[in-house]
Amino acid sequence: MSEMIDLRSDTVTLPSPEMRRAMYEAELGDDVYAEDATVNRLEERAAAMTGKDSSIFLTSGTQGNLVAILLHCKRGDEIIVGDQSHILHFEVGGASALAAAQVRAVPNQPDGTLDPVAVIAAIRDREDVHNPFTTLICLENTQNRCGGVVLDAAYMATIAKIAHSHQAALHIDGARIFNAAVALDVPLADLVADADTVTFCASKSLAAPVGSLLCGSRPMIDQARRWRKMLGGGMRQAGVIAAGALYALDHMVDRLAEDHKLARRLAEGLAEIPGIAIDLTTVQSNIVMFNTAPSGHSGAALCDALAKRGVLAGYFEGTLVRMVTHYGIDAPQIALALAATHAAFNEL
């Protein structure tokens, strides 16, 4: 292979020539003064697409989730997350270190959901002086570590009702929420209608180079601008990167269905390889999780063998491996990746 087939993540995407041109031609101003016209248009578009009053452009999904936690929590409050959530595993403990919020994990079910009964049981009794206040419940959609599974609107409404009835808010870590909307064939605004805040990444499956959006009520987003500034996220002439995200919202959403089809093709091919265990019911978007345990080899060993054959995969831990389809991956590359996986297992 002359070029690597990179299935580690959809964060490795490169902007299309048209997206690059949009970035080059972007109208610019100082965003901290709210004078960058491209950022303003992006924030208006994001708010409209999510059905929220307002939105703010941030550097990353991690920053977006942290700002949301700062909005909803006071020092010493508690947030409920899934035990497979990005907030718990991949955000460097920011909720505790920077927001001073305690994190309580509830097990994610194989379908990515949190059992509503378990969520209710985890909410603290506000009358007990020993307890922190539970002020936020966070869901992740799609759920990365559960294989990119999709949470539907009815489920999210159920958790929102639980949160609101217990004086808590619901935040959606929607890094790949457009994948969920496309997979469910529902408008994004309907999917997140019951959430108080929602983030989404432009730099993952939408293929923009940088940035995420946090969407919510206008008072919340006004306060979010103060938190963003405190965190060093005032980016001045940010229209250069906002133009990529704006282009992505206009041109990269509908094509996500193709990524989902390729992920299904990849998963079905992997299921035929001796030594791989995979639950095809979890392959609902662009993420494919599989296990090398039946082969007796570690996930790291497989990833090393694949890299020698021109394929990059993501090693999580133990025997868990992730492959992600995205803009820049096509059907012939999926066929090559499957052939390389067959050969890699023969080599191990």
pLDDT score at 317: 87
Q: Is residue 47 located within the same domain as residue 154? A: yes
Name the region of 28 (left: φ>0; alpha: ψ -120 to 50; beta: rest): beta
Residue 193, CA distances (Å) to 153, 173, 180 in order: 8, 14, 14
- DSSP annotation of 219 reads H
Q: Is residue 233 located within the same domain as residue 295? A: no
**What radius of gyration do the chain's Cα atoms show?**
20
The pair of three-digit structure tokens given for residue 120, joined into one six-digit string:
């209710």
82 DSSP β-pair partners: 106
Residues 6+ apart with CB under 8 A from 89: 145
Q: Is residue 289 located within the same domain as residue 200? A: no
Total count of domains within the chain = 2
Q: Is residue 51 located within the same domain as residue 105? A: yes
- For 109-151, what is each residue's pLDDT tens digit? 999 999 999 999 999 999 999 999 999 999 999 999 999 999 9
Cα angle 243, 244, 250 (rounded to 5 degrees) comes to: 90
**What residue type is 198 in one-letter code?**
V
- The span from the CA of 180 to the CA of 65, in Å, is 18
pLDDT score at 346: 86
- The span from the CA of 348 to the CA of 339, in Å, is 15
Q: What is the CATH number of the domain that holds 321?
A: 3.90.1150.10
**What residue type is 237 in one-letter code?**
Q
- The span from the CA of 347 to the CA of 339, in Å, is 12
Tens of pLDDT along the chain (348 residues) come to 458 999 999 999 999 999 999 999 999 999 999 999 999 999 999 999 999 999 999 999 999 999 999 999 999 999 999 999 999 999 999 999 999 999 999 999 999 999 999 999 999 999 999 999 999 999 999 999 999 999 999 999 999 999 999 999 999 999 999 999 999 999 999 999 999 999 999 999 999 999 999 999 999 999 999 999 999 999 999 999 999 999 999 999 999 999 999 999 999 999 999 999 999 999 999 999 999 999 999 999 999 999 999 999 999 889 999 999 999 999 999 999 999 999 998 888
pLDDT score at 1: 41
Q: Is residue 225 located within the same domain as residue 327? A: no
- Residue 34 belongs to a domain: yes
- The span from the CA of 86 to the CA of 202, in Å, is 16
- Parent domain of 206: 17-251
Q: Is residue 213 located within the same domain as residue 122? A: yes
The pair of three-digit structure tokens given for residue 6, joined into one six-digit string:
């990179």
Q: Read off the pTM.
A: 0.96
Q: What is the CATH number of the domain that holds 192?
A: 3.40.640.10
Q: Is residue 221 located within the same domain as residue 139? A: yes
- Residue 101 belongs to a domain: yes
